[in-house]
Amino acid sequence: MSNLVQKYNIPGPRYTSYPTVPYWDLESFSGLQWKSTLIDSFNESNEDQGISLYIHLPFCESLCTFCGCHKRITKRHEVENPYISNVLKEWKLYCDLFNTKPRIKELHLGGGTPTFFSPENLTRLVNGIFKTAARAENYEFSFEGHPNNTTKEHLQALYNVGFRRVSYGVQDYNKKVQLAIHRLQPFANVKNVTEWAREIGYTSVGHDIIFGLPFQSKDDVAQTILKTKELMPDRLAFYSYAHVPWLKGNGQRGYKDSDLPTAEEKREQYEMGKALLGEVGYSEIGMDHFSLKTDTLYKAMDNGTLHRNFMGYTASKTRVMIGLGVSSISDSWDSFAQNVKNLEEYSHLVENNIIPIYRGHILTKEDKIIRKHILNLMCRFKTSWENQHEVFSELDVVRDKLSEMALDGLVEISSDSIYVTEKGRPFVRNVCMAFDLFLHRKAPDTRLFSMTI
Ligand SMILES: C[S@@+](CC[C@H](N)C(=O)[O-])C[C@H]1O[C@@H](n2cnc3c(N)ncnc32)[C@H](O)[C@@H]1O
Ligand code: SF4
């Protein structure tokens, strides 16, 4: 395995979309076309599937130096009210495009730190959204909570407006690691917020843990998993630390590259962690994700409905996903659009009744075929091209690229399908890269992506 890591540990996308953002064709994108594809997709799917809504709440009180998310650090809570007003204005701009009420199937509050906001302001936000929307059947509402500032009142307020799923950032319990990433977070805090959520009636509690952090050892990862076992969250994200210090404003500068585990140590952490998670009762769902068999994500994997989008893995698929707030990405299925990242610019645009997107991509027929294969690989570890509409012009090139992985036992290739073996699962991003025609045609000339392992 160690030779395989050396061979395949290269920079690569995480495929929450295809084409990946750096390869969007910005030239042929236009806001008008984006709106028109959105309206068409909405009309086609709102009645049956409903839509997904992602709301980015960017504020955090304190900077965690490992963090790659889009955030704004402040202790000034006066920012809450105007931000919520702007998100609601942005939502109204979208609702004005549609001639029926959106039916929301999935709503996710991400960040930053949604629990930076007061329970009253989060309630105002959600109630404001539903002034012009309805809940779809079997809706699923979820949010990301920070264990250091989530209160019972937050959990109760969001429960009252329909939230049943929460995920908490845990990362690692070792003090040395927590100091290095500037995130002191005692186990007692995680225990409290996990237990409160259950007492209130949340049906799915998730924890995010990370391997590959500065100063983190294999033993730290094991201890973190064993502590996690005491609380048995329903879902577990087991992320590989993405070291992307070149991204503007992400603050990954509180430690040196030499403080990070080597690729080999990281691989050992991953393998030990994955085995231990299995021993304590978790099943692997897709890349980085594990759950108990009772969780909806496991059931979705089991019955083949697991889906992946900008929010990560989801239990059901909607054709339309609207992203509100700074930096959010929307997906109309035929095109993607991203909001501006700068808070002041965002506020300015929305206050002037302009949907605040600044770039996007209209998917071609070929993009859609490749996206289907990449989604299959990420959600089901296999894909096939039995039908003519699953075939694309460079399929032979893809098979050639995969033949080496087949020799290494990572994939099995037949005349019309490929299957990622158990051994190949840690390398699923590499398998997807073989299908990524944009990467074939133009390898990035600057560093864009984190390492695949
Ligand atoms: C928005 S945060 C979660 C909510 C809240 N802000 C918190 O920190 O508890 C989303 C998650 O992304 C993960 N994450 C952030 N930066 C990462 C990185 N560089 N590599 C891997 N995972 C990362 C962390 O596990 C984090 O919990
Ligand atoms: S990990 Fe969470 S709390 Fe820390 S900076 Fe990132 S988004 Fe904010």
Q: What angle do CA 150, 155, 156 make, to 5 degrees?
A: 140
Mean pLDDT over 157-164 rounds to 98
Distance CA 216, CA 352 (A): 47
Does the pLDDT at position 392 exceed 80?
Answer: no
Distance CA 206, CA 191 (A): 12
> Is the Cβ atom of 146 under 6 angstroms away from ligand 2?
yes
Render pLDDT for 3-37 as a digit per residue (tens, 0 to 9).
Answer: 787 788 878 888 888 999 999 999 999 999 999 99
pLDDT of residue 13: 87
Partnered with residue 73 across adjacent β-strands are 60
pLDDT of residue 252: 72
Of 75-84, 351-360, 384-393, which range is least confident? Answer: 384-393
Of 51-65, 104-118, 152-166, 399-413, which range is least confident? Answer: 399-413
Does the pLDDT at position 249 exceed 70?
Answer: no
**Residue 298 is encoded by which pair of tokens?**
């496991």
Q: How far is the CA of 207 from the centre of ligand 2 (A)?
A: 14
Render pLDDT for 190-238 as a digit per residue (tens, 0 to 9).
Answer: 999 999 999 999 999 999 999 999 999 999 999 999 999 999 999 999 9
According to DSSP H, which parts of 280-315 are helical? Answer: 296-302
pLDDT of residue 170: 98
- State whether the Cα torsion 323-291-211-195 is positive or negative: positive
What confidence tier does 286 reach under pLDDT thresholds 50, 70, 90? confident
pLDDT of residue 438: 86
What secondary structure does DSSP assign to 139-207, as a single string? EEEEEEE-TTT--HHHHHHHHHTTEEEEEEEEE---HHHHHHTT----HHHHHHHHHHHHHHT-SEEEE
Distance CA 16, CA 421 (A): 21
> Is the Cβ atom of 66 under 6 angstroms away from ligand 1?
yes
Distance CA 39, CA 98 (A): 7
Render pLDDT for 89-129 as a digit per residue (tens, 0 to 9).
Answer: 999 999 999 999 999 999 999 999 999 999 999 999 999 99
User: Percentage of residues in the chain with pLDDT exceeding 70?
Assistant: 96
**Closest approach atom of ligand 2 to CA 146:** 3
Q: CA torsion angle for 168, 313, 382, 396 (degrees, to 10)?
A: -110
Q: Where are the beta strands (DSSP E) in 241-353?
A: 283-286, 289-291, 307-309, 312-314, 321-324, 329-331, 335-339
Q: How far is the CA of 390 from the centre of ligand 1 (A)?
A: 35
Render pLDDT for 311-335 as a digit per residue (tens, 0 to 9).
Answer: 888 988 899 999 999 999 999 999 9
Distance CA 300, CA 323 (A): 23
Cβ atoms of 21 and 338 within 8 Å: the answer is yes
Number of alpha carbons in the 13 Å side-chain half-sphere of residue 248: 2
Q: Could you tell me the pTM of the whole model?
A: 0.94
pLDDT of residue 14: 87
Taking alpha carbons only, the member of 220, 244, 116 closest to residue 171 is 220
Number of alpha carbons in the 13 Å side-chain half-sphere of residue 443: 3
> Is the Cβ atom of 111 under 6 angstroms away from ligand 2?
yes
Give the containing element (helix H, strand E) for 227. helix 218-231
According to DSSP H, which parts of 9-64 are helical? Answer: 31-45
> Is the Cβ atom of 113 under 6 angstroms away from ligand 2?
yes
Q: Based on the number of CB atoms within 10 Å of its own CB, is 48 exposed (0-12), middle (13-18) or buried (19 or more)?
A: exposed
pLDDT of residue 60: 98
Average pLDDT score over the chain: 92
Q: Based on the number of CB atoms within 10 Å of its own CB, is 293 exposed (0-12), middle (13-18) or buried (19 or more)?
A: exposed
pLDDT of residue 446: 61
For residue 211, the ligand closest to its alpha carbon is 1
Distance CA 397, CA 418 (A): 14
Of 139-148, 326-335, 442-451, which range is least confident? Answer: 442-451
Mutate to test the pocket of ligand 1, among 210, 236, 257, 326 (most ligand atoms within 8 A of CB): 210
Cβ atoms of 72 and 59 within 8 Å: the answer is yes
Buried b (16+ CB within 10 A) or exposed e, 140-150: bbbbbbbbbbb
Mean pLDDT over 418-443 rounds to 88
**Closest approach atom of ligand 2 to CA 144:** 2
> Is the Cβ atom of 242 under 6 angstroms away from ligand 1?
yes
What confidence tier does 248 reach under pLDDT thresholds 50, 70, 90? low
**Residue 284 corresponds to which amino acid?**
E
pLDDT of residue 447: 63
Q: How far is the CA of 75 from the centre of ligand 2 (A)?
A: 13
Does the pLDDT at position 281 exceed 90?
Answer: yes
